Chains A and B, each alone.
Chain A
Amino acid sequence: MSFFGFDTTLPRDRQQGGPARGFFENPDPFAEVARAQALEDDDGIDFEDTYDGLGDQLDDDQDAFNDDTFGGGDAGAATTGAVGRDFDFFGTTAKVADVIGEEQVRYALQNPSAAPLAAQQHAAAPAPTATSTTTATTAKRSGYEKYSDPGYIPDLQAKSSVWGISQKKPDPIPAASRRPMMSLEEVEAQMRQRSQPTATMPSQSIPQHMAEPSFLPPPQYPQGIPEGFPAIPPEYLRAALEKGVLPPGMPGLPPGIPELHGAPIMSGPPPMHLQQNQLPPQNLPPQGHRHPGPPQGQRQQQQQQQQMPPPPSSRGPNGGLPVITNPQQLMHLTEEQRNAYLVEDAKRAKRNHKIFLLSRGNGLMTPQDKNFITRIQLQQLVAAAGNVADADPEAVLAEDFYYQVYSQIRGAPRQHPHQPLGHFAQTYLLQTGNRLGGHGNRRAFQSADNHMQRMQQQVQRAVEAAKAKPKNKQLIIEGSLGKISFSNAKAPKPMLNIKRPDSSEGPRPKKVQSDLSLSDRKSILTNIESVYSALMAMEDMERTMPPPPEEGDAEAIQEHMEWRQKVHSLNQKLWRALKVMEPIVPNSTTPHPFIAFLSYPKGKKAIPRIFRHIDQEQRVTILTMIVVHLDSLDVVRLAQPGPGEAQPSIAVRESIDLFSLAVMPSLLGYVNEAPFNIIIGLLGLVIAQTHVQSVARTKVGLGILTMLLSRAEIVKEAGQAAERDWQQWVEKFNVLFDTLEPSLADIFPGAINTGDDMYVWQFLAAVGIGASPEQQQRLVIAVKDRVMETVGYSKTLPADMASQRLGNVNLFMRAIGLDVELLG
């Protein structure tokens, strides 16, 4: 008859009533209450006074038609009286409604004191009392079940105002005696709260199931309700407990769902109370097993806790608010506290719901499953990364050079540019190991360890397989007509299978031998490439430079020596590739290989890199080479504007710019440190070997001259120049000046309004500084027109451009002790 399928009949009932007493077992609760009353002498309402005596009125003779009415053949036979009462169920219930309410009140009063008593008795004489307590509890539960009919509850509420009178009786009971009643539940709630703060769902679901009466707003019943309410929660709670609301086999099931079955049984408690009394799944199983007599142990516990002050921790989450375990308590709170409590509760419910949603998939996969997945993922990782997993930075650099270096230069998307994917895989492996090992369980740890080993072995195998694969790209199965070619991410299946000519028998060596003219385009480009490969080899060497050897560390010294040896041989290789030392063939139609090398943009671009790897002697050789061939340098030769052209073609101008950007700084860097005699020698070469007047008409030519002249001036200013050297210099300078003087007006690039002429003014300034006063005079005369032109022209320009042009002129004017300001 019990809702949850338990046998809820009392011993007494068993005697008198058969299994077919009908659904509504009205008499039971009152009988039970009477028993309770007997246990505890209570001066409350006298049960006999309120008992309607319906049972006595039963006429056993008049149940002849019971079978017709109830359809049960055996129903009436066993317990006629029960059936007779049950027949008019609503009426009967309504009649006893008052009594029910009163009994609830009374029960509530008896309950707290009954529990300690039971415990005491239990301590004294365990066996008999225990059974009595158990039966009492079960009876109580069964007694209330029948009022779960939602249609009945409004009655209860309506009548509650009537209790106003009878309420007087419970009222005088001192707060002290009421206090333990509350704290019993309080303690229960605390226990549950502590062990499981994750009550779920009910705030949403319960109220819907429990129609209107389920929640009574406190202000509505300021007086009558308080006593009515507390009767139910412990009742329900115990019922739920005994019935094992949460089956132990379904730990993952949210407490809220079984709750729904239980909810309709009870009449009254507001949802928040339900939530708080949610039972933690982990607590439940033992209680479920102890089914027949769970409350004793629990009550004992409760009792013990009752005597102790509630642990402070339980108050933590409410932030100073008292722990609310039933609505009555809520009622005692101030409005503010109540609101705070409700908000708190809503929050908790929300969180619990979220946890529930998140944990829905919990426990679906066993650790083994997870490991399996991890292994598959790792395998894929290894397969995707090829053999990068074991690659050292060198190999990564070889494979992924552009990306790696680019990332280093421009800020890497990856944090550590040298970190290959394999590191990632390894880190991941370690992480998994830690996580599995963290369980503490030795067996779990062991198996995890084993597992890690297996995984590592597998990864190793996969890596080896990936490495081995490219070696046999094709598989020829015997008897088949075709070949099966393998491909992987790093070596895609080749569409064309072209056999490369071996370099030993190819035409290339022949070409090299037959390459009499070292300056045809192809061989120049080949030279440039060989220079670059030598350069890259040297740069690689630089990276692998061993640390400077310490004194006495023979091995390190040996290593260092070997490294130096290698660097030196690479340097020689580079030097040979540059072909700077090729003999100079005078009046040759083909330019010198090195000059040809410089005529290509990438040749020019190589110069700064080359200069980093060669010594001073090699640098001066290069500089000398350039100076000697200044005439035939493309940037000089082609830079002469043709007749009628204001300036050289765009391509030439670009290469001039490139030369100025790439080559000149390197040369200047050397010249600024070069000894004076070399400067003198270079100037002599310019004068002797080149056509100075045409060289001076180009930007590069003038740049080199400026470079030399200014260096000489700096040396002189620093007082480092020996008198004899200086004489030599002045001699050369005079020759240069005399040669240039007639064409000084022509060294400007085109008309006044074309292009940038700053470099010319720089050159003139350099000349002006080194010139004698008489030479300065001649210089001024030679360029006077241009100066005036520029000053005049600058007046038509916007301010910033004008000042720039005037500044250029001033560079020269100041060098000879004048200023444009003087010109007005």
Chain B
Amino acid sequence: MLFFSFFKTLTNQTVTIELKNDIRIRGILKSVDQYLNIKLDDIEVLDLDKYPHLSSVKNMFIRGSVVRYVMLPRSEVDVGLLEDATRREAANQAGKAR
């Protein structure tokens, strides 16, 4: 749940998402669910020349499994907190595995 928890804090921030088919989309993250499906608003496709069919798309829902990267706004990430959250997550996982 760490990533879900993390992405939830990025709602209404601008993120760039790279899909596994190399399309890169920048938009405002509207919501994310536990499968890391992503809803984007006000989108902008970065290599629009290559994907003209996306030129009129204004918002989209991206299935979590097709996402390769999510580029985050640096200022919106609390690194120290994220580190701690990661440690907790690891501890939880270790606790569950045992």
Q: Which residues of A line the B interface, CB within 8 A? A: 398-407, 409-410, 413, 489-490, 492, 500, 503, 529, 532-533, 536, 602, 605
Contacts and interface: CB of A to CB of B under 8 A. Distances in A.
B81 A406 contact: yes
A403 B85 CA distance: 9
Nearest to B97: A500
A401 B35 contact: no
Given A529-B87, A536-B87, A602-B83, A401 B5 contact: yes
Contacts of A602: 83
Among B1, B6, B11, B83: residue with most chain A CB under 10 A: B1
Contacts of B97: 500
A401 B11 contact: no
Interface of B: 1-2, 4-6, 8-9, 11, 34-35, 78, 80-85, 87-89, 91-92, 97-98
Contacts of A490: 1, 34
Contacts of B83: 532, 602
Main secondary structure of the interface of B (DSSP, over half): helix
Given A402-B9, A489-B35, A605-B80, 16 more contacts: A398-B92, A399-B92, A400-B1, A401-B2, A401-B84, A404-B5, A406-B9, A409-B78, A410-B9, A489-B34, A490-B34, A492-B34, A503-B98, A532-B83, A532-B87, A536-B87
Contacts of A536: 84, 87-88
A404 to B, nearest CB: 8
Nearest to B89: A401
Nearest to B95: A398
Contacts of B34: 489-490, 492
Nearest to A399: B1
A95 B84 CA distance: 102
Contacts of A399: 1, 5, 92
B27 to A, nearest CB: 18
Given A409-B81, A490-B34, A402 B5 contact: yes
Contacts of B82: 402
Given A406-B78, A407-B9, A533 B87 contact: yes
Contacts of B9: 402-403, 406-407, 410
A10 B57 CA distance: 74
Contacts of A410: 9, 78
A669 B10 CA distance: 35
A489 B37 CA distance: 12
B69 to A, nearest CB: 19
Nearest to B92: A398
A529 B98 CA distance: 19
A640 to B, nearest CB: 29
Nearest to A498: B97
A492 B64 CA distance: 13
Contacts of A403: 5-6, 8-9
A398 B2 CA distance: 10
Contacts of B84: 401, 532, 536
A105 B80 CA distance: 93
B85 A405 contact: yes
A406 B4 CA distance: 13
A493 to B, nearest CB: 11
Contacts of A503: 98
Contact of A402 (B11, B81, B92, B98): B81
A573 to B, nearest CB: 14
Contacts of A533: 87, 91
B35 A402 contact: no
A533 B97 CA distance: 18
A563 to B, nearest CB: 21
Contacts of B87: 529, 532-533, 536
Contacts of A405: 81, 85
Quick one: which of A399, A410, A490, A605 has the most chain B CB within 10 A? A399
Nearest to B86: A402
A401 B91 contact: no
A389 to B, nearest CB: 15
Nearest to B9: A406
A486 to B, nearest CB: 15
Given A413-B11, A490-B1, A492-B35, A401 B88 contact: yes
A398 B35 contact: no
Contacts of A500: 97
Contacts of A489: 34-35
A536 B84 CA distance: 8
Contact of B88 (A398, A409, A492): A398
Nearest to B8: A403
A503 B35 CA distance: 30
A407 B5 CA distance: 11
13 contacts: A398-B92, A399-B5, A401-B2, A401-B85, A402-B6, A407-B9, A413-B11, A489-B35, A500-B97, A532-B84, A533-B91, A536-B88, A602-B83
Contacts of A406: 9, 78, 81
Contacts of B91: 533
Nearest to A605: B80
Contacts of A400: 1, 4-5, 8
Nearest to A386: B34
Nearest to B85: A402
A410 B88 CA distance: 20
B72 to A, nearest CB: 13
A483 B51 CA distance: 42
A533 B4 CA distance: 22
B2 A402 contact: yes
A399 B96 CA distance: 12
B38 to A, nearest CB: 16
A529 B91 CA distance: 11
Contacts of A407: 9
A399 B93 CA distance: 11
A107 B91 CA distance: 96
A335 B69 CA distance: 73
A413 B10 CA distance: 11
A271 B89 CA distance: 73
B42 to A, nearest CB: 19
Nearest to A413: B11
A533 B78 CA distance: 18
A529 B2 CA distance: 18
Interface centre among A402, A410, A602, A605 (most CB of B within 10 A): A402
A489 B32 CA distance: 13
Nearest to B83: A602
A327 to B, nearest CB: 55
A753 B9 CA distance: 43
B68 to A, nearest CB: 17
Instruction: Please list the 4 inter-chain residue pairs (A to B) with the smallest Cβ-Cβ separation, ordered nearest first.
Output: A402-B85, A403-B5, A402-B5, A406-B9
Contacts of A402: 2, 5-6, 9, 81-82, 85
A530 to B, nearest CB: 10
Contacts of B85: 401-402, 405
A410 B81 CA distance: 12
The residue among A401, A407, A605 with the most chain B CB atoms within 10 A of its own CB is: A401
Nearest to B35: A492
A410 B9 CA distance: 9
A413 to B, nearest CB: 7
A400 B85 CA distance: 8
A627 B5 CA distance: 41
Contacts of A492: 34-35
B92 to A, nearest CB: 6
Contacts of A404: 5
Nearest to A397: B88
A479 B97 CA distance: 29
Contacts of B2: 401-402
A533 B94 CA distance: 13
A706 to B, nearest CB: 28
